[in-house]
Amino acid sequence: MYNGYSYQTVNNCTFISNKAYFGGGMYNNNTSLTVTNCTFTSNRTSDSGGGMCNEGGSITVTNCILWGDEQDEIAGSGSATITYSDVQGSWPGAGNINADPMFADSAGRLSPGSLCIDAGDTSVVVVTIDLDGNPRIVDGDHDDFAVVDMGAYEHVPPDTDADDDGIDDAVDTKLYEYSNDFDDGTTGGTILDRADQIVFVLDALDPLGVKIGASTSGGAESALVSVCGEAAFELDSGDAVVVTCGSVEITVVQGMVEIVFFAADGTEAKTSLNAGNSIEFEPETLFFIAPATNTEDVVILVGGIEIVLAPGKTKRYVRASIDIEPDTLNLTNKNKWITCYIELPQGFDVGNIDVRTVMLYEQVRAELHPTEVGDYDSDGEADLMVKFKQEAVQDLLDVGDAVQISVAGELNDGTFIVFEGSDTIRVIEPGQNK
């Protein structure tokens, strides 16, 4: 598409497998252009701008996908404001991501799990249907919060209400029917018998707890639930209990956030928290969603780690295993290293950790060299070794037999994942016996 000395608005279009000397998918020359919910992929250029080339004018791109085009996705000297779009290689702008869109077909439709689902800016949408004729805004990831998708096609999940009871089983399973063991059986609780109830997790009335409740799914029997190893209690529809055991404290300092808990068996449960509320829980991973309707950033504290999310942004939190060496640290030993071995849960690659983001106590950055990926503890899982300068750390340490050291960082694979973990070591004063 060539736009020259004109005013254009483009909605719900795909630009696929085109070729041009400049701008494989689109070339804009001194044009005022607004492009919304479009997909650019598999385009080629002999020079620059495989997806789009801009020369002069004013270009506004929102809710678009530019991925898999040869040469740079976007090029040229024109003014381009790009937001809430998936641009391969990244592009500055609010809501932008750099992640494989997971196309389901050559037309650019999205597969389940794509980070482009529910990731656009709903406020700029001016059409009611997508390129397939489906509703332009649907709840594509079953989180009860409808946000427009990026690209020309809205992801419409199937309705699996096979028994015609008015309940979409896929939604119920993902949001409410949490794992039988809330947190692998260490803390939290166990659903002994769901009977005909659906057991779910809500934001707690107690600021330090998680409220477990039940709703009826067509019958009148109680759900039987055991929490923190205590005696089992029954939940009838509408009943709830506040659970305060758990080792991860989540505090929302500002804004409103939706939190999805991931269980070991792959099932999930959702809660939402407003500013000033906290919960404690022990999932292996968490997924935070800042609604696009927020008027300010969400600020969340997870185990002392601050996570900031702009409206419409998402981020996933992963519990890491941290091993600090030496086990006993003598504060007299200056100019030496503190070594940290980081291991992530199965399914996460420590090779994707961005060493530049790794920090101890959120104050001391890891050294960029040396680093090494190996299997330090010989458990069959890869570890990332990083080092911190002891001189920079020791002023933050208290002397004691059980000093907890926390380390956190981010992954650089476009998945918006942050990790955090801690280890306990002994810290001794000068002259103290080891």
Highest mean pLDDT among 168-177, 211-220, 333-342: 333-342
CA dihedral 324, 326, 327, 328 (to 10 degrees): -140
Structural domain span for residue 86: 2-124
Mean pLDDT of 265-273: 64
DSSP, res 350: G
Residue 170 phi, psi dihedral angles, 5° rounding: -65, -40
Domain boundary among 124, 152, 175: 124
| Tokens 């800042």 belong to residue | 290
Residue 59 phi, psi dihedral angles, 5° rounding: -115, 130
Tell me, yes or no, whether 57 and 115 share the same domain.
yes
Tell me, yes or no, whether 419 and 305 share the same domain.
no
Domain boundary among 290, 317, 344: 317
Residue 354 pairs in a beta bridge with: 410
Tell me, yes or no, whether 310 and 325 share the same domain.
no
Residue 137 lies in a domain: no
Tell which phi-psi region holds residue 312, choosing left (phi > 0), alpha (psi between -120 and 50) or beta: left
DSSP string, 262-313: EPTTS-EEEEEEETT-EEEE--SEEEEE--TT-SS-EEEEETTEEEEE-TT-
| Tokens 């609604």 belong to residue | 291
pTM for the whole structure: 0.42
**Number of domains the chain contains:** 3
Tell me, yes or no, whether 25 and 118 share the same domain.
yes
Residue 434 lies in a domain: no
Residue 92 lies in a domain: yes
Picking from 328, 331, 326, 187, the residue whose alpha carbon sits closest to that of residue 246 is 187
Tell me, yes or no, whether 193 and 306 share the same domain.
yes
Residue 152 lies in a domain: no
Tell me, yes or no, whether 208 and 275 share the same domain.
yes
Tell me, yes or no, whether 356 and 418 share the same domain.
yes
Residue 221 lies in a domain: yes
C-alpha distances in Å from residue 416, one per residue of 148, 314, 317, 434: 19, 7, 9, 42
Q: Please say if the pLDDT value at position 346 is more than 80.
A: no
CATH code, domain carrying 391: 2.60.40
Tell me, yes or no, whether 254 and 109 share the same domain.
no
Q: Please say if the pLDDT value at position 356 is more than 50.
A: yes
Picking from 352, 159, 177, 139, the residue whose alpha carbon sits closest to that of residue 261 is 177
DSSP, res 107: T
Residue 146 lies in a domain: no
Residue 372, C-beta contacts closer than 8 angstroms, at least 6 positions apart: 384, 385
Per-residue exposure over 179-211, b if at least 16 CB sit within 10 Å of its own CB, e if not: bbbbbeeebbbbbeebbebbbbbbbbeebbbbb
Each residue of 270-313: pLDDT tens digit? Answer: 677 777 777 665 555 677 778 777 788 888 877 666 778 888 88
Each residue of 108-131: pLDDT tens digit? Answer: 999 887 889 888 888 888 888 899
Domain boundary among 299, 317, 335: 317
Each residue of 386-415: pLDDT tens digit? Answer: 999 988 888 888 888 888 898 988 888 766
Tell me, yes or no, whether 47 and 103 share the same domain.
yes
Tell me, yes or no, whether 164 and 304 share the same domain.
yes
Tell me, yes or no, whether 193 and 298 share the same domain.
yes
Residue 150 lies in a domain: no
Helix (H) or strand (E) run with residue 393 in it: helix 390-393
Residue 144 lies in a domain: no
Tell me, yes or no, whether 214 and 252 share the same domain.
yes
Q: Please say if the pLDDT value at position 320 is more than 80.
A: yes
Which pLDDT band holds residue 197 (cuts at 50, 70, 90)?
low
